[in-house]
Chain A
Amino acid sequence: MQLLQQLVNGVSLGAIYALIALGYTMIYGVLRFINFAHGDVFMVGSYMGYFAATVWVSHFFPVGTLPNTILVFLLAMMICALLGATIEFLAYRPLRNRPKLTVLITAIGVSLFLEYTGQLVFGPNPRGFPAIIPNAPLIHTASVTINTVQVVVISVSLGLMIALRVIVMKTKIGTAMRAVSFNQQAASLMGINISRVITFTFIIGSALAGAGGVLYASQYPSIEPLMGILPGLKAFVAAVLGGIGNIPGAALGGLIIGLVETFVSGTGASTYRDAIAFGILIAILVFRPSGLLGKREVEKV
């Protein structure tokens, strides 16, 4: 009875974590560093969705109509893609051959920059997100309620993940991405333009974060400039849990974190929610240091 409802709640939360986790894992895959600014790109996605829905697009299509919703998603994803590429170009590219630690600290700097610029530009007060997906119960019984937003969140996330899978496995640029991830030097010797591949990775990862931002804001319609920190952290955990650098792993990790969180809060122990979620992470990493689906890498000395 209650179990089924909590399952629905958990999957729709986990789907969003999975979308953000994909960005972490892809960027780690090609560059071997954690892009801590990723959660803030997600925040920018929510704000772009907000402005797109209430200002830019609402002139032509009212909020809640299908063209509005589609344009909101596309605009948020495009702006985030642009932002991701810009961040890579300005902040990370000049440090390409520096120690990984330098890049990592720069990523934290970029993250803080986005958070506080967000507070300055958007204002620190939370804003209500417009109902771009008209919310109505689709299935409504005594024990379970599934509404349109949850269905849209789950299906859009799933669709984007499948699209990503196709891009990575079937296209030329996807093959290049995998090659760079496998061995950057060898890939560049084979004539692959590393910089182009990295930019493309940032574009795809950030676009997913943008879509995640709009979905998250539709499901939990209150946005503020620091909203990216916690989901970003959880998604990072999800990526590590699934095996960082592994795309299906990130999706699985996101789903697990979403479900665990929901079930723990559902038992009334919400105070310990994060402790339990992170405890599970530690437990899994003790037994499988490379994550659930990660491959064990042998360090060559």
Chain B
Amino acid sequence: MTRYQVSRRHIVGTFALLFASSALIWGCKTAGGPAGTEIPVGEFASLTGGTATFGQSVHNGDVLAIDEINAAGGVLGKKINLLTEDDQSKTEEAVASVQKLVNSDHVVALLGEVASSRSMAGAPIAQLSHAPMITPASTNEDVTKKGDYIFRICFIDPFQGQTMARFALNSLGKKRAAVLTDVKQDYSVGLDEAFKHTYSTSGGAIVSEQSYSTGDKDFHAPLTSIRATNPDVIFVPGYYTEVALIVRQARELGIDCPILGGDGWDSPELTKGAEKEFNNTFFSNHFATEDPDSTVQNFVKKYEDRYHSMPDAMAALGYDAARILVDAMKRAGSTDSAALRKAIAETKDFPGVTGHITIDPNRNASKPITIIKITEGKFHFAQRIGPEGEALTPFQP
């Protein structure tokens, strides 16, 4: 009997403690806010692990933008303090990173991640604590459906697929397409479905549908089946590790038609050792370093001066994400979360490096797409296509 009472008192005590501590945390969150002369902004990125090159590029872009803004006097009379957490390319680490940034660093907004899976893992926490989050490069449709505090400044998967279908039909004039999809990646499946739908409803024919899984090394089998149907263009919406092998093996099998892909191709590793095989391939991307546009050229110069390497699309998107966030802070006139959220949602025609960006009612970006042509292992600007599928520049074959 006595023991029961003791344990009950224990339970009550524990609950009281829990309440007290949660009240404490809540109190900090609401009453605290950004104190002092700095605005804390959180960034979670994959600086190490499987997609380290993506995370590092975005981080470089973020840092370049924030340093530039701070050097010009900051925003709202304060400097921005960028707090970065490395999620090691792991979903569970992304959750832990966002929790730390939001709960103990009390950041006013979040920048991150590249991988859609990790953005989706971090988004519910950002939404719950009303910290606006801008993902620079997560293209999966569902990311911004996590809540009204979640935004993105890149285009979404269906748009890439649609654009590549129109590009194949209108710019290349190819009417028979085969697709080779990575069934383990939502990204790849999303692009594939949009491509097939647009292609077949706009006058083209899908002659072969083959698939593979992330991590595969041997693609001779699906490629042999594709070859038997004699397509005049192949769409491979995968990531660069597998695509590097697919294109090589396709050429080995004597398939020499154009091969198309999406932004998952964008890596300096893509064409290493296979420069010849990658001739006559195209992919959709967020930006091209060769784009004659002056905003792009300014950015490329600043980036090169600082990091002594050419920026990739991820760096450009990181740079744009950070600048759109600061632009919203300026327009909101405060870092209050509701006002900041509203200002980000009202972003219109922001002159970004990756094109003019307008945030639509679904908190996605409406913006142009850049098509890259690969020649002798080098990426060249081929065409820019607008949000409605209209050609903004003529195709440069």
Contact = CB atoms under 8 A, between A and B. Distances in A.
B218 A266 contact: no
A9 B210 contact: no
Given A270-B210, A270-B213, A271-B183, A265 B222 contact: yes
A265 B212 contact: yes
Contacts of A201: none
B253 A145 contact: yes
Contact of B225 (A2, A10, A128, A145): A2
Contacts, number: 93
| Residue of B217, B254, B269, B272 with most partner-chain A CB within 10 A | B217
A86 interface: no
A221 B248 contact: yes
A190 interface: no
B217 A222 contact: yes
Interface string A80-104: 0000000000000000000000000
B211 interface: yes
Given A2-B228, A128-B272, A267-B225, A220 B218 contact: yes
Given A124-B49, A271-B211, A129 B241 contact: no
Interface string B219-241: 01110110110000000000001
A137 B216 CA distance: 23
A131 B210 CA distance: 27
Contacts of B253: 5, 145
Nearest to B270: A128
B274 to A, nearest CB: 8
B218 A222 contact: no
A6 B248 CA distance: 17
**Chain A interface bracket (under 10, 10 to 19, 20 to 34, 35 or more):** 35 or more
A130 B273 contact: yes
Contacts of A137: 252, 254
A145 B254 contact: yes
A88 to B, nearest CB: 29
Contacts of A169: none
B252 A128 contact: no
B228 A1 contact: yes
A17 B337 CA distance: 58
B252 A125 contact: no
A262 B218 contact: yes
A140 B245 CA distance: 20
Given A128-B244, A145-B252, A268 B217 contact: no
Going nearest first, the 5 A-B pairs with the smallest beta carbon separation are A220-B217, A265-B221, A9-B220, A266-B221, A128-B272
Given A137-B252, A273-B213, 16 more contacts: A2-B224, A5-B224, A6-B224, A125-B269, A128-B269, A128-B273, A128-B274, A129-B273, A137-B254, A145-B253, A222-B245, A227-B217, A264-B221, A268-B222, A270-B213, A271-B183
